[in-house]
Amino acid sequence: METYVVRVWLPDRPGALGQVASRIGAVRGDVVGIDILERDGGQAIDELIVELPDDTLIDLLVAEITAVDGVAVEDIRPAPKGPHDPRLDALEAAALLVGAESADELMASLVQHTKADFTAAWVVVLTHATLDTAEIRVSAGEHPTARWLAAFTEGSRMSNNPAMVHTGPDDVAWAALPQAGLSLILGRQGPPFRARERRQIAVLARIADARWPEVAVAVADQSAGG
């Protein structure tokens, strides 16, 4: 069996998801997971985990799904290896952040798990500073320059709401770590970041930021003892 993540737009009405599942079953596919990413304006964006007998059925699968009135396929991609459960992934990431014993471990865990959990092409932890003095503390993947990232976060911070859930272009998401004086920024190629994903990124950033004073004190204590 081949497993795929299928992101679909569908009318937010009773029975729409059932119709899509029926079409998937018509090509011998099996829906083994559902994640609601966004609901707004009478539309829902769902991410379905679908098992297919083989990859030659992908085109037929898309044709069957889009045959349902008002439904469109935004993206389809192979599922990550191993069990795929966004809620469990989020809990595991949170547990590692809570258990981090140093600032380096905390930031490394944050970057590692946001990159994997959100299939990001790149992730950066950036210091809050001016365009000319901003520095990249930790990163993964090929990312924009520190100056571009600093300009992006500053512009986004000034234009967004006071809840500190910062949005931006569809392919970039970010959240602040105010106590640490850092920003978590990630980008990807493919499906846009949706509302639930952005909220989850913000929550992980808040967990890391809440841990920051403890790990920062631990570093200071070690330095004083050394």
User: Smallest Cα–Cα separation from 8: which of 34, 26, 32?
Assistant: 34
Q: Give yes or no for a contact between 44 and 9, defined as CB atoms under 8 angstroms apart.
A: yes
Residues of the chain within CATH 3.30.450.40 domain(s) are 86-225
CATH 3.50.50.60 fits 86-225, yes or no: no
Tally the C-alpha atoms within 13 A of residue 158's C-alpha that lie toward its C-beta: 5
User: Smallest Cα–Cα separation from 6: which of 17, 15, 14?
Assistant: 17
153-178 pLDDT, tens digit per residue, is: 887 776 554 444 444 578 899 999 99
Distance CA 36, CA 87 (A): 11
E strand map for 53-206: 72-78, 122-127, 136-140, 172-177, 182-187
Residues of the chain within CATH 3.30.70.260 domain(s) are 2-78
- pTM summary value: 0.75
| CATH architecture entry for 2-78 | 2-Layer Sandwich (3.30)
Q: How far from 107 is each of 48, 203, 218, CA to CA, in Å?
A: 30, 15, 15
User: Along the 226 residues of the chain, how does pLDDT read in single tens digits?
Assistant: 889 999 999 998 889 999 999 999 999 999 998 988 988 888 999 999 999 998 899 999 999 999 999 999 999 988 877 556 667 777 888 898 999 999 999 999 999 999 988 889 999 999 977 777 889 999 999 999 999 999 888 877 765 544 444 445 788 999 999 999 999 999 998 788 888 889 899 999 999 999 999 998 754 444 445 4
